[in-house]
Structures are given as structure tokens and as C-alpha cells.
């Protein structure tokens, strides 16, 4: 499944947030959206599955304009994990089961429950299965949300800062899991991230936002320290350690 964005623009009332956004993502790829706070990363992600409706431009999923799709049709193709995760007195199992809702017509059946159980095991969440969400830590909630998005079995995963509440071990576990699932099932993932090192390590492509537009885009290996410097306004070097790119801030903050 291919997602194609053409000339997308979005305004919050009088404030223009995004303009001239053009890019496409392909199966088996992780695309990461980078940029400083408030640049519009989350806004762009929300425009991709119609949580926000762009004033201009189109988002095409497998050659179908999402404006012409119902919310349910979109949910069968694109799953979304937001930054804000609301908790309620519902168990992790039932919260993950909600990922099957776009596919359930009348009643939850055994195959839905089995899928939830499988993803719980894959993410090592068995110990949280019957724990209520309002008793969980931020990291546990984040893992449950990712599990819910995975059980939705869509071709495109949208993840808004999926590792922001996770410790190092869980960050690596989740990102490697997403990477494996993306490759194994030939789906696409689009993530917003603040951790440049994790982003460069696990992503295939990067989109760097600055001043409402895509300032730089391309394969991870093509991202230069100059682009990162221009986007974040910080002097950096990109060095390679055991083949992995690492962004090293070298001080002397310059004006953006």
C-alpha cells in the first residue's frame, strides 16, 4: 500500500501550520518526521488519516483519496497511535481488542481474541493483560497503544512519538518490533520523533520540517549534518559508530 501526499496545506484558524507538503511512502519502509517543537509534525501525521482535514492538497492511499473514504474505511487501512493516551478503568486486553473494532461487524469473535493474545505475547505484555489502564505507567500505556495499532492490521502505521515514555530497553524493543513487522508484513510506518539517534537508526527515510514546509527529505544516509543544523538551529556532526549514524551536538547554538 502506497501513501501519497500532494501539495498538502493546513491552517489552524488564521495560523498556517503546513504548506506545500509533498511526499510518498512505500511498503516495507519506516518514514520518520523530524523537526523542532511546534513545527507541525503531529499536525502532518493527523492530516494523513483525516483526524485533521487539510484545507488544500490530497492524501491518497492506494490511489484512493482519503477525503472520499469513511472514518471506518480509513481505520481499516491506517492505524494511529497518538501522543496523548487517555486511560480509563478498562483492561489492557480490552483496550488492545479495540484495535479490532474497524473489522468487527456485529460481535467480537474468537479470532479477534486470538489476534489480541498473539500480539500481547509478541510485545511481552502478558503480565499487563488484566491490569486496568488507569493503574499503568506512561510507558505501559504506550506499549498497549502500539499493540492496539498493530492488532488493527492495517497497511500503514502512524505513530506520534511512539517511544517518548519508554525507557531505553523498551525503546529498542518497540522500535525493533516495529521495524520487523514493517519488513515482515511489507507495511509502512510513519513516525514523529525527537530522538534523532533512534530515528536515524531505525528509519529508512526522513522528512525534516522547518518553517511549515519539508526542508529536507530523503534516505537516512543522505541526511547531512548541515540539514540537521539548519532545521534545529544547533551545530551537529553526524558520525558513524559500528555502521549506525549518530548525531552529536557540538555546541555553539546558532540562530535558526
Partner 1 sequence: MHFDHGEISAEYSGYIRKKNVFILLAFIILILVMLISICLGSVQIGFVDVIKTLLKNTESRQFDLIIWNIRLPQTLTAVVAGAGLAGAGAVMQSVLRNPLASPFTLGIAHAAAFGAAFSVMILGSATLTSSLNDTFNISNRMVTLLSAFCFSMATALLITYIAKLKGSSPEIMVLTGVALGSVFMAGTMFLQFFADDVQLAAMVFWTFGDVARADWEDFWIIFVAIVCILLYFLANTKNYNSMDMGDETAKGLGVNSDAVRLTAMMASSCATAVIISFIGIIGFVGLVAPHIVRRVIGDDQRFLLPATIIVGALILLVADIVARLILLPHVLPVSIFTSFLGAPVFLYLILKGNKK
Contact between 51 and partner 1 by CB under 8 A: the answer reads yes
| Alpha-carbon span 175 to 91, nearest angstrom | 24
Three-class SS state of 56: strand
Our CB check for partner 1 shows the closer of 44 and 238 to be 44
Determine which residue in the list 22, 53, 111, 137 makes contact with partner 1, applying CB under 8 A: 111
Exposed, middle or buried by CB within 10 Å (0-12, 13-18, 19+), for 43?
A: buried
The correct pick among 21, 95, 174, 247 for binding partner 1 (CB under 8 A) is 95
Pick the closest to residue 30 from 190, 146, 181 (CA basis).
Answer: 190
Binding residue (CB under 8 A) for partner 1 from 31, 49, 165, 227: 49
Of 74-82, 188-196, 218-226, 242-250: span binding partner 1 (CB under 8 A): 74-82
| Host H or E run for residue 143 | helix 138-151
In terms of CB distance, is 141 or 207 closer to partner 1? 141
Q: What is the DSSP string of 117-136?
A: HHHHHHTT-GGGTT-BGGGS
How many whole angstroms separate alpha carbon 222 and alpha carbon 244?
13
Q: For partner 1, which residue of 151, 178, 214, 220 counts as binding (CB under 8 A)?
A: 151
Q: Residue 248, interface with partner 1 (CB under 8 A)?
A: no
Q: DSSP for 148-217?
A: HHHHT--SEEEEESTTTT--HHHHHHHHHHHHHHHHHHT-EEEEE-S-HHHHHHH-SEEEEEETTEEEEE
- Least separation in angstroms between CB 84 and partner 1: 6
Residue placing its CB nearer to partner 1 in the complex, 174 or 206:
174
Residue with cell 523542532: 36
Q: Find the binder of partner 1 among 13, 15, 84, 169 (CB under 8 A).
A: 84
Which H helix or E strand runs over 230?
Answer: helix 225-232
Q: Of the candidates 1, 2, 129, 246, which one interacts with partner 1 according to CB under 8 A?
A: 129
Binding string, residues 159-188; x marks residues near partner 1 by CB under 8 A: ----------------------x---x-x-
Q: Which stretch binds partner 1 (CB under 8 A): 24-32, 120-128, 212-220, 246-254?
A: 120-128
Q: Are 68 and 74 in contact (CB under 8 A)?
A: no
Binding site for partner 1 (CB under 8 A): 46, 49-51, 70-76, 78-82, 84-86, 88-91, 93-95, 98-99, 101-102, 104, 110-111, 113-122, 129-130, 132, 134-135, 145, 149-154, 158, 181, 185, 187
Amino acid at each position: 500500500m502506497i501513501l501519497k501526499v500532494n501539495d498538502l496545506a493546513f491552517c489552524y484558524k488564521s495560523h498556517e501550520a503546513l504548506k506545500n507538503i509533498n511526499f510518498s511512502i512505500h511498503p516495507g519502509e519506516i518514514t520518520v518526521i523530524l523537526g523542532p517543537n511546534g513545527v507541525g509534525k503531529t499536525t502532518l501525521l493527523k492530516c494523513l488519516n483525516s483526524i485533521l482535514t487539510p484545507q488544500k492538497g490530497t492524501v491518497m492511499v492506494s490511489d484512493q483519496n482519503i477525503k472520499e473514504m469513511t472514518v471506518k474505511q480509513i481505520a481499516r487501512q491506517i492505524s494511529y497511535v497518538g501522543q496523548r493516551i487517555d486511560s480509563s478503568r478498562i483492561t489492557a486486553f480490552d483496550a488492545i481488542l479495540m484495535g479490532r473494532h474497524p473489522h468487527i461487524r456485529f460481535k467480537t469473535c474468537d479470532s479477534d481474541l486470538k489476534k489480541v493474545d498473539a500480539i500481547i505475547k509478541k510485545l511481552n505484555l502478558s503480565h499487563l493483560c488484566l491490569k486496568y489502564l488507569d493503574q499503568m505507567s506512561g510507558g505501559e500505556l504506550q506499549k498497549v497503544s502500539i499493540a492496539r495499532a498493530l492488532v488493527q492490521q492495517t497497511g500503514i502505521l502512524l505513530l506520534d512519538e511512539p517511544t517518548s515514555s519508554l525507557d531505553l530497553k523498551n525503546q529498542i524493543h518497540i522500535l525493533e518490533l516495529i521495524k520487523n513487522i514493517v519488513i515482515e508484513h511489507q507495511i509502512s510506518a510513519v513516525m514523529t520523533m525527537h530522538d534523532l539517534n533512534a530515528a536515524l537508526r531505525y528509519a529508512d527515510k526522513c522528512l525534516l520540517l522547518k518553517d511549515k514546509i519539508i526542508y529536507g527529505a530523503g534516505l537516512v544516509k543522505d541526511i547531512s549534518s548541515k540539514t540537521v543544523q539548519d532545521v534545529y538551529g544547533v551545530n551537529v556532526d553526524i558520525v558513524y559508530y559500528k555502521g549506525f549514524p549518530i548525531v552529536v551536538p557540538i555546541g555553539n547554538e546558532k540562530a535558526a
